[in-house]
Amino acid sequence: MRRARSPARHRSGADRERVRERWKPALAHGCSPYSATRSFTPCPPSCTTRRCGAGNVTVPHKEAAERCVARKTDLCARVGACNTFWAEHGELVGDNTDVVGVLTCLKQLGVDGASRWLLVGTGGTARAVAVAAAELRAEVHVLSRDAARAQRFADWARAQGARAHPARGALEPEVAINATPLGLKESDPLPLDPARAQRLAAALDLVYSPRGTRWVRALRAAGIPAHDGREMLVHQGVAAFARFFPDQPAPVEVMRAAVNHALRA
């Protein structure tokens, strides 16, 4: 929760569009992402708009949130995780905007047409990457320290429509995506050494830090375009903003500036 940047991102957007809503971080306890908030009861099957409003869910509660919402979008159901919710006709509706965040970042990097991805990690955020790969019909190779976990994840990803396999042998991806916590500390090893990936056209690190992660800095120094997780944070927020305020255009640059400011704070 201390690392969460969603409140600052959405407050800036709401202020810019003069929307009278406020985001406040709330700690969750137990299995329910709502049990510590003033507006929710634990795992409610439905609610009224007066009680619910809208909000975002961060790790490690996204999977629990997906089980709690009364209705969910197709992406939310496929990923099995909810990071955005709102009240509609008296019910909680859940969505997953991580997928849109990944897709938008890859388009910005000019590699949304790349056919061979390397995905480092098998956690909840990696699920969104796998579904994004399915949307773009890309082949995704899954790298994990645990070979059995990589196989299980690849099996799950194939069930979601992705062409997924455990990563084996020489790694020659066109796109590399880090969906692990590697990079939160400067001493962390690199998810993939740029010198070992001769065909790498771009990379996306879902971790973010004030100076940019060491991996992103190494990639850029090698001439490889790369984004860290702050850009995904911006675009998943833009997608969430559209859910919350469908008649209001999201002020993308204002939200990006708010995320960067929060990281420096």
User: In the prediction, which pLDDT does 211 show?
Assistant: 84
Tens place of pLDDT per residue across the chain (265 aa)? 344 455 554 455 445 545 555 556 555 554 443 433 333 443 444 444 445 578 999 888 899 999 999 999 999 999 999 999 999 999 999 999 999 999 999 999 999 999 999 999 999 899 999 999 999 999 999 999 999 999 999 999 999 999 999 999 988 999 999 999 999 999 999 999 999 999 999 999 999 888 889 999 999 999 999 999 999 999 999 999 999 999 999 999 999 999 999 988 5
Specify the number of domains making up the chain.
Answer: 2
- 62, 72, 107, 185: the active-site residue: 62
User: In the prediction, which pLDDT does 52 show?
Assistant: 54
17 lies in some domain: yes
User: In the prediction, which pLDDT does 23 show?
Assistant: 52
CA–CA gap between residue 69 and residue 163 (Å, rounded): 29
User: In the prediction, which pLDDT does 227 show?
Assistant: 97
CA–CA gap between residue 239 and residue 245 (Å, rounded): 10
**Which of 51, 79, 96 is where one domain is finished?**
96
**Which of 96, 119, 136 is where one domain is finished?**
96
User: In the prediction, which pLDDT does 34 show?
Assistant: 40
Q: Which of 257, 248, 252 is nearest to 18 (CA)?
A: 248
Do 41 and 76 lie in one domain? The reply is yes
Do 92 and 104 lie in one domain? The reply is no
CA 116 remoteness from chain centre: 20
For residue 190, give every residue at least 6 positions away whose Cβ sits within 8 Å of its Cβ, in sequence order, or none: 182, 214, 215, 218
Do 83 and 34 lie in one domain? The reply is yes
User: In the prediction, which pLDDT does 59 show?
Assistant: 80
Do 222 and 146 lie in one domain? The reply is yes
Each residue's pLDDT tens digit, 158-169? 999 999 999 999
User: In the prediction, which pLDDT does 25 show?
Assistant: 56
Do 120 and 214 lie in one domain? The reply is yes
93: which strand partners? 71, 86
Each residue's pLDDT tens digit, 17-59? 455 555 565 555 544 434 333 334 434 444 444 455 789 998 8
Whether 24 is catalytic: no
Position 92, amino acid: L
By residue range, what is the domain housing residue 27?
6-96
| Cα dist from 117 to 72, 79, 127, 144, 230, whole Å | 28, 18, 14, 14, 20
CA–CA gap between residue 26 and residue 21 (Å, rounded): 16
132 lies in some domain: yes
252 lies in some domain: no
**Which of 44, 69, 96 is where one domain is finished?**
96
Report the half-sphere exposure of 34 (CA within 13 A, side-chain side).
26
Do 173 and 116 lie in one domain? The reply is yes
Do 191 and 223 lie in one domain? The reply is yes
Do 53 and 88 lie in one domain? The reply is yes
239 lies in some domain: no
67 lies in some domain: yes
Position 222, amino acid: A
User: In the prediction, which pLDDT does 42 show?
Assistant: 38
User: In the prediction, which pLDDT does 16 show?
Assistant: 52
Query: Domain containing 40 — which CATH number?
Result: 3.40.50.10860
Do 47 and 34 lie in one domain? The reply is yes
Do 121 and 153 lie in one domain? The reply is yes
Do 225 and 103 lie in one domain? The reply is yes
User: In the prediction, which pLDDT does 147 show?
Assistant: 97
For tokens 């955005």, what's the residue? Answer: 84
